[in-house]
Amino acid sequence: MGELGVAVVIEDDKDLRNLIEGILSQAGYAVHTATEGREGVAMVRDKRAKIVTVDIGLPDIDGFEVLRRIRRFSDAYVVMLTGRTEEPDLLSALDAGADDYITKPFRPRELRARITAMMRRPRQHLLDPEVTDAFSGTPPPDTPASESTLQHNGLVLDHRKRTACVGGTPLKLTRSEFDLLHQLVRASGNVLSRADLVRVVRGEYYPEDALITDADERAVQVHIGNLRRKLQDDADSPRWLQTVRGAGYRLADPVISGRST
């Protein structure tokens, strides 16, 4: 077994499969490869993979279905590889439980940097993202309870418990959605750029000078849209998430007696 554990590469393109295998091997993983989705799912289970790369376009079942099947039994870190950046594709990958994605073509050092940053994130048990509030990034155990709770316009966030509620009703958020919402609430109305929020999604260890692509910023838009849907927030008259055209996003103003201040 490699120093860092087992990695599985699910990719039908031979040249790309060999490239990713080489990157992960040099990083210290014991790498196994599969050319089809069903084979890859079985390999992830049998080898107890710690990290998995999945191409969206596979010859038998697509990468989204591969990811959904993996999430039934594994909390391995999963990176989706895609040549497409359309919102439905990004949304499907993120909703299915992907930890990260990378668009093709990519530079080997970019993939390795993404994986290094991803592996440094705190990790909790994850099997089904649809019923998991938030699966990583818990604060240190000595965080005072009063400091871990934030409230705004009926929204209550508990960073220690990784929970979010509106009017007492829990929200089912993915890790990335919770982290973005928490960061926006913490910013207390200050504008955060899409690049700022990309780094929130990637984790605190993602370097300031790391390449941020259009696809990265597009994914932030997808997350924000998903948050608005779950919050039932109106983009034209927001209670929580306000778009600042050309700049980014901010927390909407506090509501007093049904009207914004």
| Contacts of 104 by beta carbon, 8 Å cutoff, 6+ apart | 16, 81, 82, 83
Choosing from 70, 98, 119, the residue where a domain stops is 119
| Residues 235 and 114 occupy one common structural domain | no
Q: Among residues 225, 183, 212, which one has the least CA distance to residue 91?
A: 225
Q: What are the tens digits of pLDDT across the range 243-253?
A: 999 899 999 99
Predicted local distance difference test score (pLDDT) of residue 17 = 95
pLDDT over 90, % of the chain: 47
* 179 SS3 class: helix
pLDDT at 1: 55
Torsion angle of alpha carbons 138, 124, 95, 148, nearest 10°? -20
| 124 part of a folded domain | no
Could you give the number of structural domains in the chain?
2
Looking at the structure, tell me whether residues 48 and 115 fall in a common domain.
Answer: yes
Residue where one domain finishes, among candidates 60, 91, 119: 119
Structural domain including 58 reads 6-119
pLDDT per residue over 146-175, tens digit each?
A: 567 999 999 999 988 889 999 889 998 877
Is 205 in the same domain as 140? yes
- 3-state class of 161 per DSSP? coil
Model confidence over 69-112: pLDDT tens digits?
998 999 898 999 987 766 667 767 777 778 888 888 888 888 88
Residues 112 and 59 in one domain: yes
Amino acid 261: pLDDT: 40
Give Cβ neighbours of residue 179 (< 8 Å, ≥ 6 apart). Answer: 134, 137, 200, 201
141 pLDDT more than 60: no
Q: What is the pTM of this model?
A: 0.62
Residue 105 and residue 222 in one domain: no
Q: Mark which of 60, 95, 119 sits at the end of a domain.
A: 119
| Residue 92 pLDDT | 74
What pLDDT, on a 0 to 100 scale, did the predictor assign at position 138? 39
Are residue 105 and residue 174 in the same domain, yes or no? no
Q: Is residue 1 part of a domain?
A: no
